Amino acid sequence: MTLFEKVKTNVTTLQAAERYGLRVKRGGMCRCPFHNDKNPSMKVDRRFHCFGCQADGDVIDFTAHLYNLKPKEAAEKLARAFSIHYE
């Protein structure tokens, strides 16, 4: 299993969002960190989707966008944060 597969299998975008400081309300809604969001417009669960700016993707996309990382760097960051071992 690749690093990307391991991360996507073991970490949801909801878990990453909460780990990285987003306050997710009941129903999985939160304020989008990718635009000036006054009201919760982003749905996070296994994946994420913002109904305001249309940002969309999986947990690696979310982390890459949040921290301005390349996908591999984002996957490595998630693996460290969630203690996922990979080769």
**Separation of alpha carbons 45 and 49, rounded Å:** 9
∠35-41-43 over CA atoms, to 5°?
A: 115
Model pLDDT for residues 27-78, shown as the tens digit of each residue: 999 999 999 999 999 999 999 999 999 999 999 999 999 999 999 999 999 9
Q: Which residue, 24, 15, 14, 13, is CA-closest to 64?
A: 13
Q: What is the pTM of this model?
A: 0.94
- pLDDT beyond 90 at 86: no
Would you state the pLDDT for residue 56?
Answer: 98
Q: Token pair of 9, please?
A: 């299998």
